[in-house]
Structure 1
Amino acid sequence: MLNELAQAASTAIISSVATDAWPRLRDGVVTVWRRVYPERADAVGADLDACRDDLLAARAGSDELSEAELRAEWQGRVRRLLVENPEIAGALRALLDEVGQSQAARGADVGEVRMTARASGNARVYQAGRDQHITER
């Protein structure tokens, strides 16, 4: 359960970097950290800011490996935090729910969609970032 929560948190961190949810998520993660390690909270905030800068640069350069590394780094950090302090799982889950609900209420999509397709011969490719309706006769 803690691993899944850590994965969800790291996904939310990486996905929200370029959205309106970022300030709330960033501040919420710092607040969660502050509950158990007040002396580390400011450093975590600075690390999140650095993560955002690194991630935006990685996306600008189509550097998917760096994005995956950042996601893995934050998953590990959050997992260790949860293992050491399982009592904060509820607060972290509530933060993720709140940020997810606020995104859904605004109708905002979280993250970025990248698609690549190759077709040859008589093949067809259908791709969509959201809804797709295909009617073939």
Structure 2
Amino acid sequence: MDPELTSFTQTAGTTLVTLMATEAWQHTRDGLTRLWQRLQPDRAHIVSDELDASREEVLRARSAADQEMLSELCLQWQGYLRRLLLAQPEAVEDLRRLLDDVDPEATAHAARITQHGTASGRARVYQAGRDMHIDER
């Protein structure tokens, strides 16, 4: 998969999980369900159920300040979206439009983030586009 598509699916998955706890959720959910219905109708019902279950998990994780669960949900949806876009590459623009419609800031910034790091010897490089927790003992 090309790096731009990888970056987009990472951003889209994270944006989706973030939107699950907002008032824009129903519009986002309906748009995603329609997208899956059009592209993979046999999976649309399963994805719709997964969206509902994930939203419940996001709300519980937020109330418990469970960052690990939120990160796992982001990874889960990044994977779902990556598989969808690999199978249906023409859907990238449809998904981008849907997310732009609900959260224009999220996808606008995604295209501008570039990180480079170089380490040599025993040096380490830590980079994050958002929160980072490093626990070395």
Task: Tell me if structure 1 keeps the 8 A contact 2:13–2:74.
Answer: yes
Structure 1 outlier segments of 4+, above 3 Å: none
Look up the match of 2:78: 75
Match of 2:32 among 20, 29, 32: 29
Alignment counterpart, residue 41 of structure 2, candidates 19, 38, 43: 38
Partner amino acid, structure 2, of 1:40: R
Code of the residue aligned with 2:49 in structure 1: it is A
Contact 1:58 1:64 in 2 (8 A): yes
TM-score (structure 2 length as normaliser): 0.70
Give the whole-Å Cα distance in 2 for the aligned partners of 1:8 and 1:34.
22
Counterpart for residue 110 of structure 2:
none
C-alpha distance in structure 2 between counterparts of 1:85 and 1:38, whole Å: 13
Q: 1:65 aligns with which of 68, 91, 110?
A: 68
**Structure 2 match to 1:132:** none
1:61-112 CA-to-partner distances (Å, cap 9, x unmatched) read 121101100000100110111011101111111101111149xxxxxxxxxx
The corresponding residue for 1:7 is 10
Residue 125 of structure 2 corresponds to none
Letter in 1 for 2:103: G
Q: CA deviation at 1:8?
A: 2.1
* Contact in 2 for aligned 1:9/1:75 (Cα 8 Å): yes
Runs (5+) with no aligned partner, structure 2: 106-130, 132-137
Counterpart pick for 1:17 among 1, 16, 20: 20
Give the conservation status (yes or no) of the 8 Å contact 1:30–1:44. yes
Cα drift, residue 39 of structure 1: 1.4
Identity of aligned residues (%): 41
- The alignment's TM-score, normalised by the length of structure 1, stands at 0.70
Structure 2 partner of 1:122: none
Please tell me the root mean square deviation across aligned C-alpha atoms, in Å: 1.9
Q: CA deviation at 1:60?
A: 1.3
Residue in structure 2 matched with residue 88 of structure 1 by the alignment: 91
Residue 62 of structure 2 aligns with an amino acid whose one-letter code is R
Rounded to whole Å, the distance in 2 between the matches of 1:8 and 1:21 is 17
